[in-house]
Amino acid sequence: MKKLIYIAAFILCAYQTINAQHSNSVKSDSLFKDFKTEFMWDAKVKISGMINVGESKRGVRRVIPITGGTFSGPKIKGVVLPGGEDWQLVRPDGDTELNARYLLKTDDGHVIQVINQALMHTDTQSRAFYCKSVIDLEAPTKSPYDYLNHAIFLGTLTMPVLKPGEEPYVIISVYKVL
């Protein structure tokens, strides 16, 4: 019986602690209300012809090779290395999930891995285009870019209208969540 009382007391204390933590996080209205970001860079990412993998059990699969490009921001600049790919899934609801993996090489010779997971949606009535992403950056730890390993990054994707004869590309803007 004494053991049951101890167990009940432990459960009650644990519940109150968890409930108090939850209450404190919920009451803080401004904690996640207005995220602030810092612009990191724009990347002009060159792409080549789409490879249509075809219909799958999850939707239509396609792959877009990344062939190069450039990037620049206030603290960093360089080139997009060829060899990356953007694996896409066009879902049955019409949205497209993008999962890109590629490398950046800074002007001072450091290579940064980029994994960019995005969602593209076009509203059928207003034709409004939405494309936002979560970006994972992996920089060399003993480099001036180690700070990229210690933050969350969000991105946008813009598909510009190409001029005649211009190579296809997209603009990826990267922002650090503060």
Question: How far apart are alpha carbons 43 and 51 in whole angstroms?
Answer: 22
Q: Which two tokens mark 94? A: 């019409």
Q: How far apart are CA 48 and CA 50, in angstroms?
A: 6
Check residue 28 and give its pLDDT. Answer: 56
> pLDDT value at position 30?
60
What burial class does residue 108 get, using C-beta atoms within 10 Å of its C-beta: 0-12 exposed, 13-18 middle, 19+ buried? exposed
Classify residue 141 as exposed, middle or buried by CB count within 10 Å of its CB (0-12, 13-18, 19+). Answer: exposed
Say what the pLDDT of residue 25 is: 46
Burial of 14 (0-12, 13-18, 19+ CB in 10 A): exposed
- Rounded Cα–Cα distance for residues 89 and 103 (Å): 22
pLDDT of amino acid 14: 47
Give the pLDDT confidence score for residue 22 in this predicted structure.
47
Identify the helix (H) or strand (E) that includes residue 39: strand 37-47
DSSP letter, residue 151: S
In percent, how much of the chain has pLDDT > 70?
A: 82
pLDDT score recorded for residue 31? 62
Q: Are the C-beta atoms of residues 60 and 90 closer than 8 Å to each other?
A: yes
Which stretches of the chain drop beneath a pLDDT of 70?
1-32
pLDDT recorded at residue 29: 60
Q: What is the pLDDT of residue 124?
A: 85
3-state DSSP assignment of residue 13: helix
By percentage, how much of the chain surpasses pLDDT 90?
77
